[in-house]
C-alpha cells in the first residue's frame, strides 16, 4: 500500500481513538482517579511500552543539539497538553472537549508556515475553515452532557491550553521525525515526561485505591494508556513521516464527529439532518487539507519529509 495512504490511515486511527477517549476517560474521573494522577499513569505506562518495543528498533543516539527540541516536545506534548486536557475534562464535558480541540489545526497551520515553512495554499486554508465550521456545527447543535461538570468555564479554558500545546508539539516534533526512528523519539519524550510530571501528579496517583478498582475503571484506564497514549502518539509520529504537520492537525476535526457517532452507537445520542450536514463539512474539510497536487520538485523546503 502507498506510504501516504498508510499515513492517512494512521492519522485517522489516532483521531478515532481520541474521539472515543473523550467519553471513556471522563467516566473514570474523579470517582476512581483524579486527573493529574491519571497523567502519571499515562506517561509511565506509555514510556514502559515504548522502551519495550524500542528493543526491535534501531539503536540511535540523540545529537546534543536536538535535546532542547526533544525536551520541548515532551513539555508541550506530554506535560502541558495532557495535564490541561485531563483537568479540563474533569471540570467540563466530553462534547466541549471534543469541539474545542478543533482549534488545533488552525494553530498548527499558522505555526507550520512560520516555523517550518510549510506552504499555505487557498485550498488547504479553505479546508481548515470548512472543517472548523463543520466541527463547530456538531457541537452547537449537539446535546450537551452537564453531569459531573463542576466548572465548565475553567474546563473550557484548559481545553484551549491543551489544543494550543498539542499544536506546538506537532510542529516541534516534525524535524525530529525526519531524523530519528519513531521508537527513539517516543521512548525519550515519554521518559522525560515522567520526570517533569512527577512532582505535579504523584500525590493524586498515590491516592488511588488500586486494589479495589472495579473492572469498568480498569479497562478504561488501560484504554487511555494503551490506546489514547501509546497507540495514538505512535500512529501520529508515523503519519508525520509522510504528511505535513498541518495535515495531521486537520484530523482533529474528526474528533467531535467520532464522539457523536460513538454516542449514537452506545445509545446516548441520535443523528439528525444538521449533524449529518455538519459531518459532511468535516469530511470535506479534511479531504481538502489532505489532498495533494503533484508538482515539480524545485525545492525540498515544505516537503512532508522535512
Question: For the chain (length 306 residues), average pLDDT per consecutive 10?
Answer: 85 87 78 91 95 91 95 95 87 70 72 71 79 69 56 79 86 89 94 96 93 92 93 89 79 75 65 70 72 45 36
Residue 268 per-residue DSSP state: S
**In the prediction, which pLDDT does 96 show?**
66
**Residue 115 burial (C-beta neighbours within 10 Å; 0-12, 13-18, 19+):** middle
What is residue 293's predicted lDDT score, i.e. its pLDDT?
Answer: 55
For residue 306, the model assigns a pLDDT of 35
Residue 1 confidence (pLDDT): 64
List, in sequence order, the alpha helices (H) in 27-151: 35-53, 67-74, 81-91, 94-100, 104-115, 122-140
Q: For residue 99, which of 290, 289, 275, 287 has the smallest C-alpha distance?
A: 275
What is the DSSP secondary-structure string of 177-210? HTTS-HHHHHHHHHHHHHHHHHHHHHHHHHTS-G
Residue 135: CB atoms within 10 Å = 28
pLDDT in the model for residue 300 = 33
**Other CB atoms within 10 Å distance of the CB of residue 252:** 30
DSSP state at residue 139? H
Res 143: pLDDT: 47
Instruction: Compute φ and ψ for 38, nearest 5 degrees.
Output: -65, -35
Cα(243)–Cα(75) distance, integer angstroms? 23
- Maximum separation of any 2 CA atoms in the chain, in Å: 62
CB 191 within 8 A of CB 78: no
- CA dist., res. 258 & res. 11, Å (int): 14
Q: Taking the model in full, what pTM does it have? A: 0.75
Residue 292, pLDDT score: 57
Neighbours of 291 (CB within 10 A): 11
Amino acid at each position: 500500500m502507498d506510504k501516504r495512504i498508510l499515513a492517512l490511515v494512521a492519522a485517522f486511527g489516532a483521531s478515532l481513538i481520541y474521539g472515543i477517549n473523550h467519553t471513556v476517560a471522563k467516566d473514570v474521573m474523579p470517582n476512581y482517579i483524579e486527573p493529574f494522577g491519571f497523567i502519571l499513569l499515562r506517561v509511565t505506562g506509555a514510556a514502559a511500552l515504548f522502551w519495550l518495543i524500542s528493543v526491535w528498533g534501531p539503536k540511535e543516539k540523540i545529537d546534543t543539539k536536538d535535546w532542547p527540541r526533544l525536551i520541548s516536545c515532551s513539555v508541550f506534548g506530554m506535560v502541558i497538553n495532557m495535564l490541561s486536557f485531563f483537568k479540563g475534562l474533569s471540570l467540563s464535558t466530553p462534547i466541549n472537549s471534543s469541539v474545542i480541540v478543533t482549534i488545533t489545526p488552525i494553530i498548527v497551520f499558522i505555526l507550520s508556515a512560520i516555523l517550518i515553512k510549510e506552504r499555505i495554499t487557498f485550498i488547504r486554508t479553505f479546508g481548515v475553515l470548512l472543517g472548523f465550521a463543520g466541527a463547530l456545527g456538531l457541537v452547537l447543535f449537539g446535546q450537551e452532557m452537564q453531569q459531573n461538570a463542576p466548572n465548565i468555564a475553567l474546563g473550557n479554558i484548559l481545553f484551549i491550553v491543551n489544543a494550543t500545546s498539542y499544536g506546538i508539539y506537532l510542529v516541534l516534533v516534525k524535524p525530529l521525525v525526519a531524523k530519528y526512528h519513531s521508537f527513539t523519539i517516543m521512548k525519550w519524550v515519554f521518559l522525560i515526561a515522567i520526570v517533569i510530571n512527577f512532582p505535579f501528579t504523584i500525590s493524586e496517583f498515590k491516592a488511588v485505591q488500586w486494589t479495589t478498582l472495579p473492572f469498568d475503571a480498569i479497562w478504561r484506564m488501560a484504554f487511555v494508556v494503551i490506546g489514547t497514549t501509546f497507540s495514538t502518539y505512535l500512529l501520529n509520529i508515523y503519519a508525520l513521516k509522510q504528511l505535513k504537520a498541518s495535515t495531521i492537525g486537520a484530523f482533529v476535526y474528526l474528533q467531535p464527529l467520532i464522539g457523536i457517532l460513538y454516542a449514537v452507537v452506545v445509545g446516548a445520542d441520535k443523528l439528525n439532518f444538521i449533524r449529518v450536514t455538519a459531518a459532511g463539512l468535516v469530511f470535506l474539510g479534511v479531504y481538502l487539507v489532505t489532498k495533494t497536487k503533484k508538482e515539480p520538485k524545485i525545492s525540498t523546503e515544505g516537503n512532508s519529509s522535512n
